[in-house]
Chains A and B, each alone.
Chain A
Amino acid sequence: MTALLQLKNVSRSFGGVRAIHNVSLTLEPGQIVGLIGPNGAGKSTLVNIITGVHPASSGEILHKGEPIQRLKPFQISARGIARTFQVVQPFPAMTVVENVMAGAMFAAGIASMDEARRAAMEHLAFTGLADHADRPAEQLTLAYRKRLELAKGLAMNPHILLLDEVNAGLNTAEVEQALALIRAIAARGISIVIIEHLLKVVTGLCSRIIVLHHGELIADDPAADVIRDPRVIEAYLGSRFAERQMVRQ
């Protein structure tokens, strides 16, 4: 069976900097996968490569067996791969519902604007933003803007959703709500890759965790194994701490 999404030896350099080096992985339908790694490990770059924002310098990306590494971002969205941005990217002067309509009209290809508005309202209700539908997006709080990103992503009718730090900058209560939302999205059968710094969130949500360090994939294992992996501990906390952990185990 062909994987939903498969990366084969993907690399990307910016000038002399190897942001992503020789990364291979596969994503199966219905999975929630955590993507972690220290700052600058290349997590966001990997998402940018998959979505065509920064095309891969080499390697191959297959979506349902078809190569997509040469497609433009709008073509990749139309194939059902949606994403959110670490720094939220709303259309500030448009209303919340219009923001979501954009995803429904273009990526999901709904021809009629009325139909797109109806679809957008459903996604707003699902993400708890229905009361704010007619407010300009720029007036929303950060937590709501993050939800707007989710609603916009859902409106694109994806089967893969890449979430780039949807919880960054949120307080504990807001994180809890966001997690409930992400679980509800996964329950719809959408595969999710989530970039996250809070390990508690990743381990609570994901069955599988991928770890990047200096642009290389250093671990791709079930969640419980990854957090005990000495290479992962070394990447996060340095070699001396990793040795101490090993001795204790």
Chain B
Amino acid sequence: MTRQQLLLTVIIAAALLALPLIGNNYMLRLATTTLMYAVLAMAWNVVGGFAGYPLFGIAAFFGLGAYSGAVVQSSGYPIALAWLFAVVIGTIFAIVLGFILLRLRGHAFAIATLVIAEVLRELTNGWTDVTGGGMGLNLPFFGWSPTALAVFFFYVMLALAAITLVTTWIVANNRLGFALNCIRQNEDAANIVGIDTTRYKIIAFTLSGAFAAAAGAIYASWTGYIEPSDVYDVLFSIKPIIMALLGGMGTVLGPVIGAVAFLALDEIVWRNFLQLHTGVLGFLIVVLILFLPSGLSSIGLHRFWRKAASA
């Protein structure tokens, strides 16, 4: 890391940590949402970006995490235990599912993962005793002020995003990242050079599942009420992909940059084109991805830094 990069990192970190002092609840809510999507995009990136498997199933892990955490929390257990439980469930589910689904490649894998969230949604709907079915699930109220809640969940989501980012960085600079990179480019050749492709793919899939489940559990506690059609929404599968594409697939910071850019665009477009909002947003994303296929992080940052350094 150069001195400039270190400086930038410190500034961003300080600004994020100080945000509750500066911003109002609305800004905090926006920032928390952004951090949550950054986690989901980074979770997607491990399988979709590093290993190159078209994962359309983040919503499944997100929803499963939300319900696992919510059920435990509404039974009166401490919130930290609920989140931990959600991560454990998400991890186990990802290992089992990965073992089955990672035999598929390409379109077949994409469709299979897309269906998982729908199956879980129906199961959640049906298991009324535990999940409340279509009525949804209310989580115990904290009794805190709205501001205290907003600050608390902002910091929790910030911590999760930081852990996910560090994990992504470690993966990218490790044997695991190297192996996933090989698998993405040529899986048969990867196997022949001695890479246990199944094992590395399952590890990647499990990381994706665990982080998405954690985000889901925190989301459930944060909103205080969840229902199947909300947390298993297919948009939780699609948006992280668009964000990773927008920021730069298979890079460490790309998904974060993509999440920030996507939600900033979303906010700006929504304010200015209330009626045509989704259409305009979709058009902008198509244009961006067409002209920047490697994502926003591919814009000459290196050149920028060199200029900044020589100035």
Contact = CB atoms under 8 A, between A and B. Distances in A.
Interface in A101-116: 101-103, 105-109, 113
A106 B181 contact: no
Contact of A106 (B185, B186, B188, B194): B194
B185 A103 contact: no
Interface string A26-64: 000000000000000000000000010100000000000
Contacts of A156: 193-194
Contact of B175 (A74, A92, A103, A105): A105
B191 A74 contact: yes
B10 interface: no
A102 B185 CA distance: 12
A152 interface: yes
A77 B193 contact: yes
A92 B194 contact: no
Contact of B189 (A72, A78, A90): A90
Contacts of A106: 179, 193-196
A25 interface: no
B93 interface: no
21 contacts: A53-B188, A74-B191, A74-B195, A74-B196, A85-B192, A89-B186, A89-B192, A90-B189, A91-B186, A91-B189, A94-B181, A94-B182, A102-B182, A102-B195, A105-B175, A106-B193, A107-B193, A113-B175, A113-B178, A152-B193, A156-B193
B178 A93 contact: no
Nearest to A88: B189
B178 to A, nearest CB: 7
Question: Interface size bucket, B side?
Answer: 10 to 19
B200 to A, nearest CB: 10
Interface string A68-91: 000011100110000101000111
A107 B185 contact: no
A85 B191 CA distance: 13
Interface string B150-182: 000000000000000000000000010011011
Interface residues of A, number: 27
Given A101-B178, A106-B193, 8 more contacts: A53-B191, A72-B191, A73-B191, A77-B194, A78-B194, A89-B188, A89-B189, A156-B194
Interface string B4-35: 00000000000000000000000000000000
Among A72, A78, A89, A156, the most chain B Cβ lie within 10 Å of the Cβ of A89
A93 B185 contact: yes
Contacts of B237: none
Most buried by A among B178, B182, B185, B194: B194
B188 A102 contact: no
B208 interface: no
A85 B186 CA distance: 13
Contacts of B179: 106
Nearest to A138: B185
5 nearest A-B pairs in the assembled complex, by CB-CB distance: A107-B194, A106-B194, A89-B189, A77-B194, A91-B185
Contacts of B192: 51, 53, 73-74, 77, 83, 85, 89
A2 B190 CA distance: 30
B197 interface: yes
B73 to A, nearest CB: 42
Q: Which of A53, A73, A98 has the most CB of B within 10 A?
A: A73
B51 to A, nearest CB: 13
Contacts of B197: 74
Nearest to A111: B175
A51 B181 CA distance: 22
Contacts of B175: 105, 113
Contacts of B193: 77, 102-103, 106-107, 152, 156
A14 B178 CA distance: 34
Contacts of A53: 188, 191-192
A152 B189 CA distance: 10
A247 to B, nearest CB: 47
A85 B189 contact: yes
A106 B174 CA distance: 12
A73 B184 CA distance: 17
Given A102-B178, A113-B178, A108 B185 contact: no
B177 to A, nearest CB: 10
Nearest to A84: B192
Nearest to B175: A105
A91 B182 contact: yes
B194 A103 contact: yes
B178 A92 contact: no
A158 B274 CA distance: 65
Nearest to B174: A113
A93 B185 CA distance: 7
A106 B175 CA distance: 9
